[in-house]
Amino acid sequence: MTERTRLVIFDVDGTLVDSQGDILGAMSHSFTAQNLPVPARRDILGIVGLSLDVAMSRLAPEADAQGVAALVQGYKDAYMELRARTGAAQSSPLYPGALEALRELHAMPGLLLGVATGKSKRGLDKLVEAHDLERYFVTRQVADFHPSKPHPSMIYQAMAEAGTAPSETVMIGDTSFDMEMARAAGVGALGVSWGYHPVAHLQAAHRILDNFAALPGALAGMWERAS
């Protein structure tokens, strides 16, 4: 009997790593440089996961296309500068238990891991390299090549690259965008309580996790439900 291939897709910011310091700092720099009021912390964290152009349009609805582009570039420049000061591993540390969970899942036969993030390819590559995570992910979906979350394009491509069906795929994330993306793609959705969106916003999740230690059991439950 052929063993099933299953895929677990992780969001990055707010799920695997806590990058809010650099995100908040880069947003503050970008808006200040354009002589715009800096959005509230709650509002900034509320758009984490969206592609930058979509995020900036939400944070600055009065800005025209040129203004949005300036905010995006200002954010990118500031983020790179902030990351360079301390290094990606320090400025975007892994959440407690994240590395152990990746190691455990990676060792399971027939289980593949991937990521789907609003980060750019360059940003994700630097983060993966800084934390020495290259070996774990067979598919990496980034904002450069897809519509913004919650469009399901990232999950569709991840499944195509991994060779898995929706019933054998689970998305893990901390935002409503991740959960809505998972539902739109017809895959399982596990929310996490330690990220940037309030748990009350994760209503589309099949289950909410409070720590990484609960992940293997939650996945087993998801697979059993899909069988």
Q: Which residues are catalytic?
A: 11, 13
Q: Give the largest CA-CA distance in the chain.
A: 64
**Which string of DSSP letters, residue by residue, matches 114-166?**
EEE-SS-HHHHHHHHHHTT-GGGEEEEE-GGGSPPTTSTHHHHHHHHHHT--G
State both tokens at 107: 């060792």
* Cis bond upstream, residue 93 (ω within 30): no
- The label of the residue with tokens 């009997």 reads 1
Task: Quote the CA–CA distance of 130 and 189 in Å, as a whole number.
Answer: 28
